[in-house]
Amino acid sequence: MEYRIEHDSMGEVKVPADKLWAAQTQRSHENFEIGVNIETMPMEIIHAFGILKKAAAQANSKLRPEKMTAQKLSAIQTACDEIIAGKQNQNFPLVVWQTGSGTQSNMNANEVIANRGNQIAGEKILHPNDDVNMSQSSNDTFPTAMHIAAVLMLEDKLIPAVETLIATFKRLEEENEGIVKSGRTHLQDATPITFSQEISGWRSSLEKDVELIKRSIAPLCELALGGTAVGTGLNAPKGFGEVVAKEVENLTGKPFVTATNKFHSLTSKDEIVFAHGAIKALACDMMKIANDVRWLASGPRDGLGEIFIPENEPGSSIMPGKVNPTQCEAVTMVAVQVMGNDVAVGMAASQGNFELNVFMPVCIYNFLQSARLLAEAILSFNKNCAVGIKANKEKMHHNLHNSLMLVTALNPYIGYENAAKTAKKAFKDNISLKEACVELGFLTAEKFDEVFHPEQMV
């Protein structure tokens, strides 16, 4: 491999000749061989750095035109556009397990933008610290990248995925209107419910989750940029925070604003914790929905068997013909991962000491993984399972009329205790509720038929 020599304040460093990063990135690459090629800094953070570095250059060109010249601005903007488009992903090798402030990833961005910008300009006009990092600190850029990446992930990926599944459930509600089945509580038979009502519970849960996630986005739109090292804004021109936030808004189309208190925004991650709590709520509901679907589809002969789901792949290496609810299982595993991630996010957010939180990379790594996995799992579940759900009307009808909890309809006529006796006798003697009620002398056969209508109990 060919190398070139780069230098920083600590001296010279050998860097692969074909890479755009420089000395500080290389030092981190060598010093933190933890999770290499597996747990690298999420690309959503890298792309967010492209956005904020472009916005910062634009703000500096307005507030410090003598330093951020038109030529420098043009080179930085072009380099940032390449990063935003994912064209420079190979130049961001650093792992999550680095300094807790994300300093090396900030410098990775600075170095790549400076080197690529110099290539574009055809001369060395950009310095990673003096130009690309102008008016900034790692301590305010990394939390800014966290918020940008979080908002884009939630609004552009997670919420649309959930809304896709909501639309499927709405269609299934309409298609299954009027189909009455047995309800279940405590995994035991309960009073009747329509299948569309059951589906509406799934749909409404997801709608509530979207509402909660949307509520969590507004606090995430506050950006730390402008606080620099400790929140005082040292080395940033007056009004930089406001101008750069407006530039980020223009670049993303999202309502970003500067944080009102930079001392808070550098050391506290409560906005991330709050938003991840909403993500966890979604994971809890997806766990419940996926479990409902696989319970209802259990069988094909010895389970509930009340719905049919798509058969996507063989389910066993030893049992021929077996098909498993694999999409449901994938969703439930993702839900477990998200719940675990919530602990990591909360613990990381609790580690703010004095003027800076130093667990930011692991905090945003888990946050983005949760949102990404849920979005992709929901789309997969929708495409490969939910859209193909079909009611097994015959089995639903059989289970409904075989349920002893239909005796609840008799309460107004024979009382709770007599209804309980009827249900117990029917179960013990393996006879129908009608036979039990008549044998016990509580109602005549004609009166039973007059008052007993399961389909009207919904």
The token pair at 273 is 């914790």
Catalytic residue among 7, 204, 316, 453: 316
Provide the 10 A C-beta neighbour count for residue 314: 12
Distance separating the N- and C-terminal Cα atoms of the chain: 73
Parallel/antiparallel/unpaired status of strands 222-223 and 257-258? parallel
Kindly compute the dihedral angle of the four CA atoms of residues 204, 207, 213, 218, in this order, to the nearest 10 degrees.
-130
Judged by phi (left if over 0) then psi (alpha if -120 to 50, else beta), residue 187 lies in left
Q: Which of 122, 127, 180 is nearest to 394 (CA)?
A: 180
> Taking the CA atoms of the chain, what radius of gyration do you get in angstroms?
30
Provide the 10 A C-beta neighbour count for residue 150: 26
Catalytic residue among 7, 137, 147, 186: 186
Q: What are the angstrom distances between the C-alpha of 74 and each of 70, 130, 132, 225, 335?
A: 6, 16, 12, 21, 44
CA distance linking residue 176 with residue 196, whole number of Å: 5
Residues of the chain by 3-state class (helix, strand, coil), percent to 5 = 60, 10, 30
186 among known catalytic residues: yes
The token pair at 353 is 């000491």
Q: What are the angstrom distances between the C-alpha of 99 and each of 193, 224, 359, 437?
A: 55, 19, 8, 74
**Cα 386 to the center of its chain, rounded Å:** 19
401 among known catalytic residues: no
Q: Are 407 and 425 in contact (CB under 8 A)?
A: no
Contacts of 297 (CB under 8 A, 6+ apart): 303, 304, 305, 306, 307, 308, 309, 325
Active site residues: 186, 316
